[in-house]
């Protein structure tokens, strides 16, 4: 058995050009704010987590030259993908028009791989900075 000194994933730092706008966005999605404290240069260190999750997002000031958008590389789970898609869409979140599923004509790009009709069902949504996060149906 191989062991590692690394024991868990805690946070993924997410660029937020307007931290309050991003915080409002994730709270509207039902994420829990577990930490919001002053940080350097008038910024804040903000941590948000999906309910019951040990891993979360740190909404941090973007690096110089950040223009928004791109894939964050974060995969979130939903028990009912269709309900999650419909709810996010109803809340005004920028979601893909449809859930991509096996056999669908939709092409999903995951890193360097493109595939049609993913398994399991999934969709992308974009935060206020245009950063894309993937929601995958939990099995």
For every one of its 139 residues, what pLDDT tens digit does the chain have, with 9 covering 90 and above?
A: 678 877 888 999 999 999 999 999 999 999 999 999 999 889 999 999 999 999 999 999 998 888 888 888 888 999 999 999 999 999 999 999 999 887 665 556 655 556 555 568 889 999 999 999 999 998 7
Considering the domain delimited by 68-139, tell me its CATH architecture: Roll (3.10)
Domain ranges in the chain are 1-64, 68-139
Residue 90 φ then ψ, to 5°: -65, -30
Question: 58 and 45 in contact (C-beta within 8 Å)?
Answer: yes
Note the pLDDT of residue 63. 86
Fold agreement between 1-64 and 68-139: yes
Nearest C-alpha neighbor of 58 from the set 17, 15, 96, 95 = 15
Q: Which two tokens stand for residue 53?
A: 């999750």
Fold entry, domain 1-64: 2,3-Dihydroxybiphenyl 1,2-Dioxygenase; domain 1 (3.10.180)
- Give the max Cα distance, the chain: 50
In this prediction, residue 2 carries a pLDDT of 76
- Whole-number Å distance between alpha carbons of 5 and 50: 25
Alpha-carbon span 48 to 103, nearest angstrom:
35
Determine the Cα–Cα distance for residues 18 and 128; give it in Å rounded to an integer: 9
* pTM across the whole model: 0.83
């Amino acid at each position: 058995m191989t062991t590692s000194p690394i024991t868990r994933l805690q946070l993924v730092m997410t660029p937020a050009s307007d931290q309050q706008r991003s915080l409002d966005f994730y709270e509207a999605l039902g994420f829990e704010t577990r930490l919001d404290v002053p940080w350097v240069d008038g910024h804040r260190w903000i941590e948000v987590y999906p309910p019951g999750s040990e891993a979360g997002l740190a909404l941090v000031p973007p690096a110089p030259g950040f223009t928004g958008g791109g894939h964050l590389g974060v995969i979130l789970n939903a028990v009912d993908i269709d309900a999650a898609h419909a709810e996010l869409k109803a809340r005004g979140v920028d979601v893909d028009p449809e859930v991509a599923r096996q056999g669908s004509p939709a092409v999903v790009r995951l890193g360097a791989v493109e595939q049609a009709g993913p398994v399991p069902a999934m969709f992308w949504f974009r935060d206020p900075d245009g950063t894309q996060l993937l929601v995958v149906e939990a099995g």
